[in-house]
Amino acid sequence: MKPIPFSQQRFEAAYRIVQSADSGSASEFPAGSLYWFDSLASTNQTAWELLEQGAPAGTVVIALQQTAGRGQWGRQWSSLPGGLYLSVLLAPDLPIEYSAQLTLCSTWGIATVLRTIPARLSGVNVQLPVQVKWLNDLILEERKLGGVLTETRISQERMTKAVVGVGLNWANPVPEPGINLKSYLERQETPLIESLEMLAALTLYGVLSGYQRWQVEGIEALLPSYLELLAYRDRPVWLNGQAGAIVGITPRGELRVQLQPTDTSSSEPFPASPPNRPLEVLLKPGTISLGYESSSPQPGGT
């Protein structure tokens, strides 16, 4: 399968349309900052290489195929032709213990933009029902649409340089439990997104708008709406045989789970709650998996 043709001119025009539909709340796309390729090993890797060559914050790398895409926790990621693989260089100033905030605001920003702006541009009252899966996945119809991978550089205990990488399924083949956005839209009465360039513009705008809001208002302003978009939050979470309910996300990206009262004691890592008293447990990213699971390489990755 050959990569879908990509036009930088159409992409930049689409970005201006997206920005105008949102009253220009996120940064303008700087001219000359886009590098796009039919195929790369990894857009994140190329973004770091461009940084070493003097590329500024705001530089964007787009590939239509990756041969060595990677995801969270060192997983292998499928990056077949027809998908969108995008990375953007940023220059945050954040203590390293809060590095998950960059992932949170980026994932929230993309999901929020995909849910709202395509409908606004089409003049219809139909949302694209994208949700987030803790911590960094984007899902549609309870299947994986894509994911976000953030990588950072540290100086004096602070995160000073970062690359936010996004992989989204557009027209590429996807294994279970993935979903292809173009196929989904073809089943809808209103397509909402009609080109890869518009999807790239929406995705970049989502990263930048989430990042900008986080920079101005702080992560606390985003956490309630991130939780609203969280898939599976109404399902029980089981820890050490105890049922728990998701009640929030911490600024460090931890999942707040309130365990139901129980009389059972245990020596397992998640302690039993005192009798008749709820216990809140904070779960670090990667501790448990919510929703779909698969041992196959997943679509997305950077």
The total number of structural domains in the chain stands at 2
| Residue-range definition of the domain harbouring residue 102 | 8-228
Q: Which of 15-19, 78-82, 274-278 has the lowest mean pLDDT?
A: 274-278
d(Cα 124, Cα 165) in Å, to the nearest integer? Answer: 30
25: pLDDT strictly greater than 70: no
181-211 pLDDT, tens digit per residue, is 999 999 999 889 999 999 999 999 999 999 9
Q: How many Cβ atoms from other residues are within 10 Å of residue 202's Cβ?
A: 26
Residue 299: pLDDT band by 50, 70, 90 thresholds? very low
Looking at the structure, tell me whether residues 89 and 208 fall in a common domain: yes
- Percent of the chain scoring above 90 in pLDDT: 66
Mean pLDDT, residues 93-116: 94
- Is 277 domain-assigned? yes
Upstream peptide bond of 271 is cis (omega within 30 degrees of 0): no
Looking at the structure, tell me whether residues 222 and 253 fall in a common domain: no
Phi, psi of 220 (to 5 degrees): -60, -30
Determine the pLDDT at residue 29.
67
Asked if 281 contacts 259 with a C-beta cutoff of 8 angstroms, the reply is: yes
Looking at the structure, tell me whether residues 178 and 268 fall in a common domain: no
Looking at the structure, tell me whether residues 222 and 245 fall in a common domain: no
Tokens for 2?
């050959």
Looking at the structure, tell me whether residues 245 and 100 fall in a common domain: no
> Which CATH number covers residue 39?
3.30.930.10
Mean pLDDT, residues 272-286: 76
pTM of the prediction? 0.88
Residue 71: pLDDT band by 50, 70, 90 thresholds? low
- Percent of the chain scoring above 70 in pLDDT: 84
60: pLDDT strictly greater than 60: yes
298: pLDDT strictly greater than 50: no
97-107 pLDDT, tens digit per residue, is 888 999 999 99
Phi, psi of 101 (to 5 degrees): -60, -35
- Is 96 domain-assigned? yes
Asked if 174 contacts 180 with a C-beta cutoff of 8 angstroms, the reply is: yes
Q: Which of 119-128, 130-139, 210-219, 253-262 has the lowest mean pLDDT?
A: 253-262
Looking at the structure, tell me whether residues 273 and 181 fall in a common domain: no
- Is 295 domain-assigned? no
Looking at the structure, tell me whether residues 246 and 172 fall in a common domain: no
289: pLDDT strictly greater than 80: no
